[in-house]
Amino acid sequence: MSLYTLAVTWLCTFVLPVLLFLAAVKLWGVYTIRGLDGSCRCPLPPGTMGLPFIGETLQLILQRRKFLRMKRQKYGFIYKTHLFGNPTVRVMGAENVRQILLGEHKLVAAQWPASVRTILGSDTLSNVHGTQHRNRKKAVMRAFSRDALEHYIPVIQQEVRCAITDWLQRDSCVLVYPEMKRLMFRIAMRILLGFDPDQIKTDEQALVEAFEEMIKNLFSLPIDVPFSGFYRGLKARNFIHAKIEENIRKKIQDDDNENEPTHKDALQLLIENGRKSNEALSMQAMKESATELLFGGHETTASTATSLVMFLGINPEVVQRIREELTEKDVSSMDLPEKALTVELLEHLKYTGCVIKETLRLNPPVPGGFRVALKTFELNGYQIPKGWNVIYSICDTHDVADVFPSKEEFQPERFMAKGFEDSPRFNYIPFGGGARMCVGKEFAKVLLKIFLVELAQHCNWTLSNGPPTMKTGPTVYPVDNLPTKFTRYISN
């Protein structure tokens, strides 16, 4: 081999890759400060941007809470990073989050990562803006009115009782998290999308598995190649859409035949609202909206219900206080027709409601929300450049709130303390806030209260592995699925 050939080979093998890497790093450094507004005297927040192009996305996916905790300890309440293909500022703390949530349409706009927008759809409530968002939200809110919630209670009770009866009959431990996802999925399919019970039984296993796959890959690098997470998420989404389309066509056919349902579900109301406003939704938009309702209506409640079982398994004295309240409010005879559970009665279960609030404080199912800066603005002495993503953190905001003494302890009574209601509202934001506060907030409260009422009245339970390690992906869940032994509770 000639000396020339050796030199060329050495240059191509060693020197050229090094030069390309250094060039990439240099370009990355320029890219990460793009949009920096020279007219704003404030500096960028502290932080790091990670590897070229990948940023710190892989670290977040692999480490989740550990990564976020380390960042907060090192950089404080506002820091920069690079996630899901975009320069990002992560924000926590009541005052900082207040400016973000109340700055909708003025400072920021909702914008989820590209993978979420593609898989869930760009025409969903969480992704539309302006008049379209207001009209869509108004239609969905009708499905969560007080009157609608009253109609949902018997369906919720039926499904919860059926699940609890099954758990009590098992000799072995119940894996609570998968069971909760199935239970909440059935409830959401019936109440939010209007599926009948027989249809759910036929498609349940396949739909649950597809939903699992879709949710697992919601936050992924948006690279649509075979076997990538993004590809698997889209494939699962398409299967779900096909099943939902069958149900939508049946709804439209029933509507054309003037078969009026006894009570309208959220999807039915969306279809009707589109017709009345002369903005009829396309089939694709209806499928996307239905998928979003399913995601919001069952994934978050399954996470919180699992956390309830966990915290109450660790704190049996809290279960006893719930039972005392149920006895005081005469809920123990709710099987009788004249003693039917109502929204009004659920509202009177103050301590039970505080148990749910405390669970949401410690384990909010959704860790935060995504926005994009509409213009360069100042936040607590730092510059947030136009076009950068802004993530407001729910879990970190709860962690750093001074209004919660003994933060690590499970103390539902803290929400009953005199003067607590007067504390700054953005210290506690499990449902978000501002114009995009969770539309299903009241539905979730009713559903979780009914679950707690039924569970406390009929069950004792023991966590087989003790307190589990919790992860986020995309909602909070126990890594061991929370194996639990349920036994029948017999009151004295």
Residue 368 lies in a domain: yes
**What residues does 369 pair with on adjacent strands?**
392
Cα(410)–Cα(361) distance, integer angstroms: 9
Distance in angstroms (rounded) separating the CA atoms of residues 204 and 185: 9
Nearest to 80, CA basis, from 58, 57, 48:
48
- Give the pLDDT score at 26: 47
Identify any residues that bridge with 110 across adjacent strands, giving them in sequence order: 371
Contact 247, 194 (CB under 8 A): yes
Question: Containing domain of residue 277, as a range?
Answer: 57-488
CB 124 within 8 A of CB 289: yes
**Residue 248 in domain:** yes
Residue 220 DSSP class: S
CATH code at position 374: 1.10.630.10
The reported pLDDT for the residue numbered 397 is 95
In a domain, 159, yes or no: yes
Q: Does 157 reside within a domain?
A: yes
**Closest listed residue to residue 61, CA positions, set 230, 226, 225:** 230
DSSP track, 360-390? HHHS-SS-EEEEEESS-EEETTEEE-TT-EE
Q: What per-residue confidence (pLDDT) applies to 457?
A: 94
Q: Kind of pairing, strands 389-393 and 86-91?
A: parallel
Who's near 336: CB < 8 A, 6+ residues apart?
Answer: none
Residue 21 counted as domain residue: no
347 located within any domain? yes
Residue carrying structure tokens 């820091």: 79
| Residues above pLDDT 90, as percent of the chain | 50
Report the Cα 143 to chain-centroid distance in Å: 19
Instruction: Name the band, by pLDDT with cuts 50, 70 and 90, for residue 279.
Output: low
What residues contact residue 419 under an 8 Å CB cut-off, 6+ apart?
none
Q: Are 393 and 90 in contact (CB under 8 A)?
A: yes
Residue 44: is its pLDDT beyond 90? Answer: yes
pLDDT at 20 over 60: no
Among left, alpha and beta (phi > 0; psi -120 to 50; other), residue 76 is: left
Residue 481 belongs to a domain = yes
For residue 180 the two structure tokens come to 């909760």
Centroid of chain to Cα 255: 32
Average pLDDT over residues 107-118: 89
Helix (H, G, I), strand (E, B) or coil at 94: helix
Mean pLDDT of 163-173: 94
Q: What pLDDT score does 260 carry? A: 60
Q: Does residue 52 sit within a domain?
A: no
Instruction: Domain count for the chain, please give it.
Output: 1
